[in-house]
Structure 1
């Protein structure tokens, strides 16, 4: 074959790189790091292989007289052997009886509102203008926030917000809550074929809408749940309350007999719309949208085969003792007496501090030994040698295959992608959930998990890290392990649109 030659000079982007040695060096360092992680991870196995080989060689060289002598020696020490065996059996029994019960996630469902509740940017701005509640600077501010938010044109508002003027009544708020909660629960019971009366524990979390009777009582009444059900209603705990509810369900399933727990996570928009002109209180109007989820957990060993995931860890961090953290997401009235939720300019810095504290606790539980050794060595060098060494940032990509970062806003996802040194693929589920459904508060991490399943990316043994932030200020993490190659459940939120994603989101616009 004749060699291809060209008299044309290289195009600017095709010229041989002058930084080839740097590239080769980075490649070499990459493989050195991979080799180091492999060595540390399999160190025990690598040490045991020579030991087992020596034992086998010695056993093969043992003559019959040595074997007989060993048997006689064991006979004279029969009491010692029996005592050791008894202690071994007793210890094993105590361990099996006292170890925590495994908690299985049988299935979950995310509410998808009907198409007539979609709200495009133009409709949002038109309704805001026609309401007569906002001045021109406030309208322009909301328009800019929408354009840069990362939200798409097909997010959802409750029916009451589509009315002119908006129907902000208690009855309308109850209707929104019922549509979301019952919609998710109907789908969950249908997919799992669990009878409502089989549920022994019910936990509902909704931060801003807490009527009497409670939301959990509304569910008990609707599905005629049994009279001795243990029901809880969590309010005012922000967007991370979904992980808190999972943690509470886990603790209850440890102490109660074989049963099911249902966790319902939602938020309510109808009575919590801000009709003022304070900019820090206008941002939630632009980000929050209708959504909710229902999760079925089980402590029954018989449910392992049909369950999707097993709960591995829950780590909770609360920064409420710090005044700035406590007030960075704060429900209050503005100067004119109009209620809303104010977001502090320090929010991202506070969230970063809460995340740092959270992963300091989570890291030793999930990171491979190789990463822990590197972190510890850097810390010791910094303390003892007083050297100007940057803190080593653990590579959480070695601990997890999938990341579900709360879709609180574009800035939140950007910040975590940067701080955790994640790749665009790791935050794809979060960005696409924000685009398709907006900030659905505590349920957003379940829309993200559903996206990963709909893309066919969840394999047996994969580990999932759900990270959520909430008022207070809190950062909470839940770690799950896939028990099988997970397929999306019927009638999922992404079923009719997953082929359209991912989309590319740019400043000031959206491009397919």
Structure 2
């Protein structure tokens, strides 16, 4: 009897051991599948660069004022208004304008606009591909965005012809998408990379200023003359396994918000004719209010993807107290996004844009320093501005492996787009293609509330 019980216990233990092994093997298999699925559609940012204008194109405040005075296109009231706005814009004396706008009178023909675009893009693209040892024929996808200037053939076709991309290139040219178009282009490239496996995508973002100056007297349209400056960026994205080790970042999330259904949002940044027939882009007084609403909407959709559970619980509890318990003393809790990100790259649309995001997110001066310095040195470079801020962080040596970066861009329509990147390599601050490298030791600088005019 005792022998029988011993054999029974031994058999039971063996059975349990077999079942335990099968259970652990099944769990391991499930985790392996989930891990592979999570990595299968990853989009890597291999490298990027931003346009660094030559010093001869600088447009210091004194030269800007003299230029608009001698152009004989503006009334004294319009000159005084632009002088006042420029002095308070947060833009310093190193920002640049294209060569065509340094002429008197400015050269604003179609040929001049094409020359401006080619001057920015061609040398930058050639140097970028050479530095990264990328053959033009290996590029599978090209996405270009330039909001207002749309020539025929397109800018994307110019790039295809100049750098010799292959005949099977999937080329896209986006226009009219505003300052948030840079992240929108990344979104399009990401979606294409999900479909086309083992591919490289080149994303190009810029804005042309040559023919977009406003010569009239409507103040809401004169604002664009004082804010926009030359800039552009090129980004190399990949889903190839061999690019995993050399990539700088991996794209974790991209959230896009379009508030165009609302009349005020739709018209707050609007291109139109004034009473005298001059074409300009009007910026509404409510733009900052609309931008704040769009940012909050974006945060609501992004928050569940990135915030730690502690912040989610505190937010839900505040909503419960407000809506269910109807507690008049309770306020809706604004999650602390600094617990989700180490770095912030805000669209350098102007001092007011950066201030609004700083207030909405309760950021510190150090958090918004990259965007303030990008605005100060380069001005509003439209869709490429968030990349100048990231270049600043890299040149300062602040981006470390494992850090998360939140890029926030605003644009006409009205749109608010967010991109979340995770650093997956050691980023070297001495990169030769970083436009900050030659003078990063001079920054940050103190930006006064009112600059001398």
TM-score range, shorter chain: over 0.9
Work out whether residues 184 and 292 of structure 1, in 8 Å CA contact, stay in contact via their aligned partners in 2.
no
CA distance in 2, matches of 1:487, 1:459: 10
Are the equivalent residues in 1 in contact too, given 2:74–2:216 (CA < 8 A)? yes
Q: Judging changes above 3 Å, is the alpha-carbon distance between structure 1 residues 449 and 73 closer, same or farther for their aligned structure 2 residues?
A: same
Corresponding residue SS for 2:173: strand
Residue 267 (structure 2) aligns with? 327
Q: 1:476-495 residue pairs with structure 2 within 5 A?
A: 476-488=417-429, 489-495=431-437
- Tell me the equivalent position of 1:6: none
Q: Which moved more, 1:423-432 or 1:302-311?
A: 302-311
* Residues 433/379 of structure 1: CA separation in 2 closer, same or farther (3 Å cut): same
Please give the alpha-carbon distance, in whole angstroms, between the structure 2 residues aligned to 1:372 and 1:141: 46
Runs of 5+ unmatched residues, structure 1: 1-63
- Structure 2: where are the runs of 5+ without partners? 1-5
Per the alignment, residue 469 of structure 1 pairs with: 410
- Contact residue 100 and residue 254 of structure 1 kept, 8 A: no
Residue 81 to residue 158, structure 1, CA distance change in 2 (3 Å)? same
Q: Please report how far the alpha carbon of residue 132 of structure 1 lies from its aligned counterpart in structure 2 after TM superposition.
A: 0.9
Aligned partners of 2:202 and 2:109: how far apart in 1?
Answer: 28
By how many angstroms is 1:82 displaced?
A: 6.4
How many residues end up aligned between the 2 structures?
445
Of residues 369, 373, 376, the one that matches 1:428 is: 369
Deviation, 1:188, is: 1.6
Q: Is 1:189 matched up with 2:189? A: no
Closer, same or farther in 2 for the Cα pair 1:65/1:461, shift >3 Å? farther
Cα RMSD of the aligned pairs, angstroms, is 2.1
Deviations 1:402-459 (A, max 9, x none): 0000000000001111110000000000000000000000001111000000001111
Q: Distance in 2 between matches of 1:221 and 1:418?
A: 46
What does residue 286 of structure 2 align with? 346
1:122, CA displacement in angstroms? Answer: 1.2
Q: Tell me what 1:46 maps to.
A: none
Match of 1:271? 211
Which stretch of structure 1 is more off in the superposition, 98-107 or 417-426?
A: 98-107
**Of residues 427, 440, 465 in structure 1, which corresponds to 2:381?**
440
Residue of structure 1 aligned with 2:14, choices 63, 72, 77: 72
Q: 1:90 to 1:383 in 2, by over 3 A?
A: closer
User: Does the 8 Å CA contact 2:257/2:415 hold for their aligned counterparts?
Assistant: yes
Listed as ranges, the matches of 1:126-275 within 5 Å are: 126-275=66-215
> d(CA) in 1 for partners of 2:283 and 2:102?
25
1:85, CA displacement in angstroms? 5.9
Answering whether residue 359 of structure 2 is matched by residue 418 of structure 1, we say yes
Q: 1:450 aligns with which of 384, 388, 391?
A: 391
Q: Rg larger in 1 or in 2?
A: 1
Contact 2:126 2:163 in 1 (8 A): no
How far did residue 86 of structure 1 move? Answer: 7.2
Q: CA deviation at 1:81?
A: 7.6
Q: Secondary structure of the equivalent of 2:91?
A: coil
Distance 2:23 2:342 in 1: 46
**Do the aligned partners of residues 497 and 97 (structure 1) sit closer, same or farther apart at CA in structure 2, a change above 3 Å counting?**
closer
